[in-house]
Amino acid sequence: MKQLMWSDVHLDAPKPFIDVRASTTKNKKSALIPLVPALADALRSLRAARGEASSRVFRNGVPTAETLRDDLKACRIAVCDDLGRIVDFHALRHTFGTMLALAGIPPRVAMELMRHSDMRLTQNTYTDATLLPLFNEVEKLPCPSPSPRASLNSAKTGQNEGKPAQSDPAHMSGKIVAISERGTHLAKAVPSWENPELAERVGFEPDFRLEAKSLENADLVDG
């Protein structure tokens, strides 16, 4: 924010945005940040009053943590909430992330707006779960509810009963197919197994042992 120049702020575009230079970001990557209309209007007023195209937007710097505490006190906003969380400058990131979630912004879009590399960071760390509309969302469920859907554990008779064990694919053995056609690429010599549907049915690829057949009579391409 201290290094933000008026040349970085595009307020006359159809959709105002800030073109953040890579040299000023923490991850050293450039970014385009769209502006909400109210903030774009405030920046236009600031530019008209004292801005120059080659000057910094915040030429006197940004407020200090002490100034923020004084402002919170003047607005009667507690510095520490009931859960022991402190309101500081970085808390604005949490506020932004939570507002995106409450507005129903798709998680992938929210991740880009927050400029995160991992969606879990956006959803778990920067979203205040205590503000999520749990009760309102539950009320959207149909009542009476439709007929129950069958599950993979439909054979269970109680909540504490273990899940059905998956079949053991250890007995399955693979074999190498020798390619006798001269000129065929060796990459086509792929292993095969007796039951090709095993991986899809069991849910993971079988741990088979390759039993090599005799390749003495196979015409394989050199190297």
pLDDT digits (tens, 9 = 90+) for 126-161: 999 999 999 998 888 888 767 776 666 656 666 666
181 and 125 in one domain? no
125 found inside a domain? yes
Whether 153 is in a domain gets the answer no
pLDDT of residue 182: 58
Positions of the chain with pLDDT under 50:
189, 193, 196, 198-218, 220-221, 223
Give pLDDT, residue 15.
96
Q: What is the pLDDT of residue 199?
A: 46
Burial of residue 24 (number of CB atoms within 10 Å: 0-12, 13-18, 19+): middle
> Does 75 share its domain with 118?
yes
Domain count within the chain: 3
Residue 181 belongs to a domain: yes
pLDDT at 154: 59
Residue 10, φ and ψ in degrees, nearest 5: -105, 85
Q: Which helix (H) or strand (E) holds 89?
A: none
- Cα separation, 57 vs 48, in Å, equals 11
| Whether pTM exceeds 0.85 | no
Q: How far apart are CA 1 and CA 4, in angstroms?
A: 5
My answer on whether 42 and 77 are in the same domain is: no
